[in-house]
Each structure stands twice: as C-alpha cells, then as structure tokens.
Structure 1
Amino acid sequence: MEFTPLLLMLSVLMIPSEAAQTAVSLRVSPSRSQFFKYESVSLSCEDQGSSAGGRVRRNTTKRWLEACPADWGVATAGSLCSIQDTFPHDTGVYWCESESGEHSHAVDITVHDGAVILESPVLPVNEGQAVTLRCRYQTPPSDLTAAFYKDGSLVRTEAAEEMTIPAVSTSDAGLYRCSNSELGGSPESWLAVRAPPPSPTSPPAPLLSLPRLLCSILVSLPYLVVTVLLLERCCRSKGVCSAAKCDEEELY
C-alpha cells in the first residue's frame, strides 16, 4: 500500500497543530524527507522545558502510534532514535512526544524502493528563504537531466539534477517530485512554506471602531440620564430637609 497524501493528512490531523505545540521539536538526520531502501536515518527529540527530550513516535501504513524503541528503531542515546536499514514500510509520519504529553510538529518520511528520490527540506521553510530541490540517483545515469514537477505539473527541466527557488513564497508550497528519462521518477514530498510573523513596526489596530463607539454611547445614554435625574432629586430632597431644619432651630 502506498503512503498517499490523503493518508498523510488524516494522520497529521490526529496530532495537535503547531498552534498548540510547545518547545518540543523533532530533528531528522540527514535532513531530508526521502530515503532509499537500506539507508539509515536518525531522529531525535529536543525539549527546552526538560533535559529528557521526549520519545519519537510514528504512524505508518502498517501500524499507528508506534513508539521508539518499543515498537521500532534503536534508541542509541537519550532521546535519539535510529533506523539502521530503512524499508518501504518505514514510510510514515514521525513526531516527538514529551514526558508531559506535549507534541512537536509532524514530518513526512518516505522510503523508496526505487532508483530516484527527491531531496527536499523535511521541515517547513521560511518565506523568502532559498530552497534547492535535488534529484538523487542510486546509480548515476549517463544523462543527469532531471524534470521537476509541482502538484503534477512540470515546473522546469534542469541539466544539473537540481532546481533552486531563490526566494520561496507560500504559493510555492505543494507536492514536488522529480524524474529522469533513464531511471524513472521519485515519490512526491510536500514542501511546506511558513509565512513570516506580522511586522512589529506596523501600527496597532484601533481598540474600538467609530460605529462601535457611537453604539456604546447610545446604549449608555439612558442610564446616564436616569443617574443624573436621581442625583438631582436626591439633592433637592436634601435641600428641603436642610431648610426645615434651619427653621426649627430659629424657633428655639
């Protein structure tokens, strides 16, 4: 069974979004999303709130919510987990879970039993950053020319087996793959592009718009009028009482 983008999306939905994540993060070495069969890959967890790091977990097409090293991989040191010989069934979604149950971002790792893979960033890249996609061959062909595709459409063909996007934007996010006329094509991998946070120099938004301000005044006006009338009545009552008291004192 092939690890499809739909399965990846369903798997990621089971993991808390980035908005709910904390300081725990996942590191992949080598830092790419595709591997040839029998290659090795190391995954480690980093948690700024704890020296323990965390535990690497994964969802694959075979099993879900597997933990390293209980169900797969070898724990070499602390929170570092390694797969010495990868197989296609290791294809899946990987993430870190801290001791308190918090989750990191999730990454998609594909193990390809073929002759061509696409080297692409395994983690989201920042908008404006230069990104290089490389067509990697298990055995170099006589013609290194590679064609690069995004979301099924040809982007361009490069003779140097790599394509560089000088400054990525959010519109560059998508599913990429590459192919060679002699060796065939690679699987698809998702390139995630992260938009920059709002500029701190931008003027702050008004706390209250003019229509809402007028509405608030109109709503408060009746209460203000009633309060003024009550105060006036109270003052008049006190004035009458004071005058009566003065007349009474004069009689004595």
Structure 2
Amino acid sequence: MKASVVSLFSGLFVILQPDLTAAAVILNVTPNRQQFFTGEPVRLSCEEEEDGSSADGWTLKRKWLQKTETCGVQGFQNCRGGTYSVSALSHADRGDYWCEDPKGRETIKVTIAVSDRFIMDIPALPVMVGGNVTLRCRDRVGSPVLVEFFRFKEHQKPKGVAPDGQFKIINIQKSDEGSYWCSHGQVTSASSTLHVRDPPVFAQTVSGLSFFRLFLHLVVITPYCITTGLLISIYCCRKTGKAPVGAPEITMQKVEHVDAAVAPTMLN
C-alpha cells in the first residue's frame, strides 16, 4: 500500500515537473540606470527576482576591455560575494557586469558607463513588453537640452529629436530592443542596450491558451488526487481495523444466522 501511494505521488510530480522552474536571478542596479556621472553612488547585487533576496551561490563579475574580474578576488574593492557598492563612481568602474553561478549560468550583462559631462538615462533592468519607457539625456547640471536620439543600425538619421531631452517609447515591443545613444551638438553619450522581455508566464494565464492548458492539467491531476485519497483512506482503516467509508458492513444478524446453522452440527 505504501508503494502504491508513493507511486501515485511520483506520477503527480512527473506531471507537474515541466512547469516547475528555478527562481530567476537578476543583476539589480540601484538606481536603475546604466550611465552615471563620476562621483555618483551605485549598488549592484545578485538577487532573486521574485522577492529581491540575495541569490545564494551567485557571484558578481565584471569585464573591461579583455580583463575579467571576480567579486572580492581580483582587485574588486568594496565587493562581497554578489554585491558591489560604490559611494563615488570613477572611470575605473566602467565595464560589463553580470552574475554567475558555479554551473556557469549567467544573468543578462549590464554595461555601466561613467562620464564627466553627458549621459543618457536608460534602464538597467529589462522592460516588460507593453510597458512604457523614457530615455533622458542630460548634462551634469541637469538642465533640459535639445538632443537627437539614435539607435544602432539606424544611425544614419535620428530616431527622434527632443527639445526637452526626453525620448518616450510607448507600448514597447521586442522590436524596440537594441542599443541607443544621444547627442547634443558635438557631445555624445555612451551607447547602452535597452533590454525588453516578455511578461512572466503567470501573467499570461489570461489568454485562452493558458486556460486550456490549465484545464488539461486539472483533467490529468484530478484522478490522481481522488485515487490517492481513497488509497490513503483504505490504508489508514486497515491499520485501525475500521471499515473505510462506503464499505459494506457485516451485521450481527448475519453472524447469528451462521452460528445457528453451525450449532446442530456441533451437537451431533
């Protein structure tokens, strides 16, 4: 009986297993930007995307030119495990940053750019499909300036001209993903990649296809649950000596009838 119950639970686990995925890990950048002025603070940390807790076992790495450094190992000052905090950025902090686990799995790389004069505010974290994003170009003073926004492979002409230094993308799509930069006269910002991601699977359950898949899962899982409950009930009743719910009862009348039939035979 125990083997049957275990077998049923094992089968249920196999059915559900394709939909079970490990929690996603991200490189969180605070503030959520890729470009900074020298002297500004920043914090980079490897975190669980679901709850923002520290991602155990993941290490922060960075690469500048051809040199790769590991957090806390190769001159990576103020860095512990998966967290790097800087109170005043310098040009030495430029580079590609990412989180990596012992199996070699990596998060999306974020390129941190540091400038003395002119930057573009662009999110470090991916933007969800259907969302809105505003790219802002500014100097160290922060005053609005007339800028032209460009996109990689479309740099022959500006993607947009913004008198106030802002370029808005409404209802963003995967096709909007790519590298952007802006210019003001002879001054040009660094180029940074705008990452776009699809909504989580859970958020897509409003679609008809997801409801259909949910229905199929219920059809498959329900018999397992019912059968498992019955087997557990029978197993418990056998241990206690009680008949399971719904089982026929042997009445005292039948027992007495049997005793009466056997009695004459015993007397003879």
Query: What's the counterpart of residue 208 of structure 1?
Result: none
Instruction: Pick the aligned partner of 1:93 from 92, 96, 100.
Output: 96
Provide closer, same or farther for how the CA distance between residues 147 and 99 of structure 1 changes in structure 2, counting only shifts above 3 A: same
Partner secondary structure for residue 190 of structure 2: coil
Is the counterpart of residue 69 in structure 1 residue 72 in structure 2? yes
Deviations 1:74-127 (A, max 9, x none): 037x74211333233432211113466543222222223x41111111122121
Q: 119-128 vs 96-105, which deviates more?
A: 96-105
Deviations 1:36-56 (A, max 9, x none): 223222111124797636321
Mind listing any 5+ residue stretches in structure 1 that lack a counterpart? 1-19, 206-252
Partner secondary structure for residue 209 of structure 2: coil
What code does the residue aligned with 1:34 have?
Q
Paired with 2:77 and 2:135, the residues of 1 have a C-alpha distance of 28
1:133/1:162 contact within 8 Å kept: yes
Matches within 5 A, 1:169-248: 169-181=173-185, 184-196=187-199, 200-202=207-209
Deviations 1:45-68 (A, max 9, x none): 12479763632111111511x122
Matches within 5 A, 1:46-195: 46-47=47-48, 52=56, 54-61=58-65, 63-64=67-68, 66-71=69-74, 72-75=76-79, 79-98=82-101, 102-112=105-115, 114-140=116-142, 144-151=145-152, 152=155, 153-181=157-185, 184-195=187-198
Query: What's the counterpart of residue 254 of structure 2?
Result: none
2:78/2:84 contact within 8 Å kept: yes
1:86/1:111 contact within 8 Å kept: yes
Partner secondary structure for residue 175 of structure 2: helix
TM value normalised by structure 2 = 0.58
Paired with 2:172 and 2:46, the residues of 1 have a C-alpha distance of 27
What code does the residue aligned with 2:176 have?
D
Provide closer, same or farther for how the CA distance between residues 96 and 167 of structure 1 changes in structure 2, counting only shifts above 3 A: same
1:45/1:54 contact within 8 Å kept: yes
Provide closer, same or farther for how the CA distance between residues 23 and 193 of structure 1 changes in structure 2, counting only shifts above 3 A: closer
Provide closer, same or farther for how the CA distance between residues 58 and 51 of structure 1 changes in structure 2, counting only shifts above 3 A: closer
Q: 91-100 vs 161-170, which deviates more?
A: 91-100
Q: 153-162 vs 47-56, which deviates more?
A: 47-56
Provide closer, same or farther for how the CA distance between residues 190 and 129 of structure 1 changes in structure 2, counting only shifts above 3 A: same
Paired with 1:40 and 1:69, the residues of 2 have a C-alpha distance of 19
What code does the residue aligned with 1:39 have?
E
Provide closer, same or farther for how the CA distance between residues 51 and 88 of structure 1 changes in structure 2, counting only shifts above 3 A: closer
Partner secondary structure for residue 202 of structure 1: helix
Percent identity at matched positions? Answer: 32
**Bigger proportion of residues as helix:** 2
Paired with 1:59 and 1:21, the residues of 2 have a C-alpha distance of 27
Q: 54-63 vs 78-87, which deviates more?
A: 78-87
Provide closer, same or farther for how the CA distance between residues 21 and 94 of structure 1 changes in structure 2, counting only shifts above 3 A: farther
Provide closer, same or farther for how the CA distance between residues 61 and 87 of structure 1 changes in structure 2, counting only shifts above 3 A: farther
TM value normalised by structure 1 = 0.61
2:110/2:124 contact within 8 Å kept: yes
Query: What's the counterpart of residue 7 of structure 1?
Result: none
Paired with 1:195 and 1:123, the residues of 2 have a C-alpha distance of 13
Paired with 1:140 and 1:29, the residues of 2 have a C-alpha distance of 19
Residue 22 of structure 1, CA deviation: 5.7
Mind listing any 5+ residue stretches in structure 2 that lack a counterpart? 1-20, 214-268
Partner secondary structure for residue 163 of structure 1: strand
